[in-house]
Structure 1
Amino acid sequence: MDTRPDDPLIEAFLDAAWAERGLSANTLDAYRRDLRKLAAFLRQRSGGTAGLQAAGRDALLAFLAAQVQSGLSPRTVTRHLSGIRQFYRWLVRERRLDEDPSALIDSPRVGRGLPKALTEDQVERLLAAPDCDTPLGLRDRAMLELMYATGLRVSELVGLQQASMNLERGVVRVLGKGGKERLVPLGDEARSWMQRYLADSRPVLAGGAVPAEVFITARRAGMTRQSFWHRVKAHARTAGIGTSISPHGLRHSFATHLLNHGADLRVVQLLLGHSDLSTTQIYTHIAREGLKRLHQQHHPRG
C-alpha cells in the first residue's frame, strides 16, 4: 500500500524519539511499520482523504479491531497501540494536534501466559539434587518435597510456623491470600522428609534458639522468598534443569501432575487455595498438552 503522504511526519516523530529517548533501531523500525500500516488503513477507510493527523478515536479503534480480526495476538496489538500513543502524544506536544485521539483507548487485555510446569522426571531430579548429608541440604530437600506435595505458594512455604505443622495427622495448616486458612495433606514422602528435617537438621540450624518459622537459615532466622529462590536455582542447575524452573515451578507442577493423573479440578482448586475456579482452570491446558504428548508417544495410532 502507498504510505508516502505521511512518511515525512512519521520520520520526524522517529527522529525525535531517537534523540529524546534513545530508542533502539529495532523499536524505531517497529514504530515505523505500525504507523505506516495505520496511515494506509486510514486513507483506505476515508477514500484517500484522511491521514494520521485527521484520525479520531473511532478510526483508531477500527484499526485496532482490524488487527485483531486479522489474527494478531492481543500482545502484538498492544505493541501497535504503544507506538501509536507515543506518536499522538508527540503531535500534541509539538502543537501539531490539539487533542490526542489515543488518550481514551484501553489496551487490549493480554491473556495470562501458561505457568511453566516441570515434567515428573525433572521434579524427581530436582528433589534429588540437595546434599542431604548436610543440615542445609536436608532442609532444602524437605522444603522442595513439601512444596511439591502441597502446592504451597513460595510465600506460604517460607511463612510456615511450627504450630501449623501436624505431622501426626499428616496435614499442614496454611494461611493463604486474603487471610484464608486451608488444611493441606502432606503425603507420606513429604511427611517423612519433614520428620527428618525437624529431628536432624533444624535443631542444628537453630543452635538453641527457638524461631517460630519451620524453615530457618544458618543464621537462625526464617527463610525469605529470595533466599529460597536462590537455593532452588542452585539445585535446578545441579539437576540440569536450570532454564526450566520458576519460583512457583513446583506449585505449577503439583497442580498439573494431579490433573494428569485424574484429580478433580475443584479438589485441586481447594488444595491450591484459589478462590476462583477459573484461576485453577489454566492448569487444565497444560495437563491436556501433556496427555496429548503421552498419547502420541505411546498409543499405537498416536
Structure 2
Amino acid sequence: MELKENIIKKYKNYMLLEKSLSPNSIDAYLTDLDKLSIFLRNENLTAENVTLDHLQQFIAQLYDIGINARSVARIISGIKSFYNFLVLDGYMQNDPTELLETPKIGLKLPTVLSLEEIENLFSVIDHSTKEGQRNRAILEVLYSCGLRVSELVYLKFSDLFFDEGFIKVEGKGSKQRLVPISHTAINEINKYLYFRNEMTVKKGSENVLFLSNRGTAISRIMIFYFIKQYAQMAGIKKEISPHTFRHSFATHLLEGGANIRAIQMMLGHEKITTTEIYTHMDREYLRQEIIEHHPRNNRK
C-alpha cells in the first residue's frame, strides 16, 4: 500500500470531520506527510511495510537537512496521526509509530510586549483614516480579548454582545467560547463602524466585522503586514506577530493576579498545561526584575 490519492483523501476527511481540525492544521499535516511519501519512494518502501527502523532513518534525514527539533516534533506528530488513522480504518493491524520518540524540546518563552511598547505601537496608528481606525480596532481586540488571528478574521456582527460585554469566538475544533471585551475595544470598534458603514461590501461578507478595502474579510497576511509596519514605526526591535498580542494579554493578566484557570478559559486552551507556559513567563519576569533591580545584584 502506497500513499495513494484515495487514502490521502479519506485521511483528509477524517481530520476534517472526526478530528475537527482547521484547514490550516490539515494542510500542515498533509505537507508533513509529503515528506514521508518522498522518503518511502526513495527507499522503495510502502506505508504498509515501513518499520520503526525506517521511520527513525527518516527522522535522521530530517535532522541532516537542517530541520530543527521543534519542526521534527510536529512532523512526527503528523505521521503518528496518519498511522493511527490507517489502523482505525483497517488498512493496517500494527502501528509502526507506536514507539517512535518525539524529541525533547526546551521551553521557549514567547515574545511579549510591555505595556509601554503596546502604547507606543498604538500611538503611531493614524486612526483618522479608514484603514488606520480598522487596524486600531483589530489590535485592541487582539490584545484585550487574547484572540488568535484566525479567530479574529472570522468575527461576525452576530458574535458581538456589547451590552453584556462579551464576544463569541469560534476556536480550534469549531469550539465556541464567550470572551469578555474591554470598553476600549468596544469604543474602537464603534469608531471603525463609522467608516465600515460607508464601504461597498461584497456579497457573502455582509456579516463579517473586519473588512479589507475590497469589501471582503481581511486576511491574516494583511494583519501580519501592518503589525510589522507599526512595530518598525514605534521603534520596537522585537520580532512580533498577531500572536504576540495574545501572549501579552495572558502575561499581563497573570502579572495582575488573574487566576490561571480563568486565563485558560479566555484563551480557549483545551489543556491547562498549554496555559501554564505563562506561569514560566511570570517567573522569568520576576527573575529579571530581581537581577536588574535588587541591590545585591548591582555590585560592580
| TM-score, normalised by the number of residues in structure 2 | 0.62
8 Å contact from structure 2 (residues 260, 276) kept in 1: yes
SS in structure 2 of the partner of residue 183 of structure 1? strand
Identity %: 40
Aligned match of 1:204:
198
Whether the aligned pair in 1 keeps the contact of 2:201 and 2:216 (CA below 8 Å) is: no
Q: Against the structure 1 CA distance between its residues 293 and 221, is the aligned structure 2 distance closer, same or farther, given a 3 Å change threshold? A: same
Residue aligning to 1:12: none
Shift of residue 219, structure 1, vs aligned partner: 0.9
Residue 171 of structure 2: aligned partner = 176
Within a 5 Å distance, the mapping from 1:92-107 to structure 2 comes to 106=101
**Residue by residue, what CA displacement relative to the aligned partner does 1:275-302 show, whole Å, maximum 9, x if unpaired?**
1000000111112122233344555667
Paired residue for 1:144? 139
Q: In 1, distance between residues paired with 2:167 and 2:160?
A: 5
| Matching residue within 210, 216, 222 for 1:215 | 210
Partner of 2:17: none
In the alignment, which of 222, 228, 243 is matched to residue 223 of structure 2?
A: 228
Structure 2 alignment gaps of length 5 or more: 1-52, 57-67, 73-98
CA contact (8 A) 2:142 2:242 kept: no
> Gaps spanning 5+ residues in structure 1: where?
1-56, 61-73, 79-103
What letter matches 2:228 in structure 1? K
Over 3 Å counting, the alpha-carbon distance change for 1:155 and 1:248 in structure 2 is same
SS in 2 for 1:218: coil
Question: 1 CA distance for matches of 2:264 and 2:192?
Answer: 29
CA distance in 1, matches of 2:243, 2:172: 15
| Match in the other structure for 1:239 | 234
Most deviating of 177-186 and 106-115: 106-115
* Shift in Å, 1:172: 0.5
**What TM-score does the superposition give when structure 1 sets the normalisation length?**
0.61
Rounded to whole Å, the distance in 1 between the matches of 2:278 and 2:124 is: 26
Q: Residue type of the partner of 1:201? A: F
Q: Among 246, 251, 266, which residue is 2:246 paired with?
A: 251
Distance 2:162 2:114 in 1: 28
The correspondence of residues 75-94 of structure 1 with structure 2, limited to 5 A, is 75=69
Is the CA contact 1:128–1:141 (under 8 Å) kept in the aligned structure 2? no
User: C-alpha displacement at 1:174, in angstroms?
Assistant: 0.3
**Structure-1 separation of matches of 2:213 and 2:255:** 38
- Cα shift at 1:255: 0.6
What is the Cα deviation at residue 75 of structure 1?
5.0
User: Which of the pair has more CA radius of gyration?
Assistant: 1
Q: 1:161 aligns with which of 148, 156, 170?
A: 156
- Supply the RMSD in Å over aligned alpha carbons: 2.6
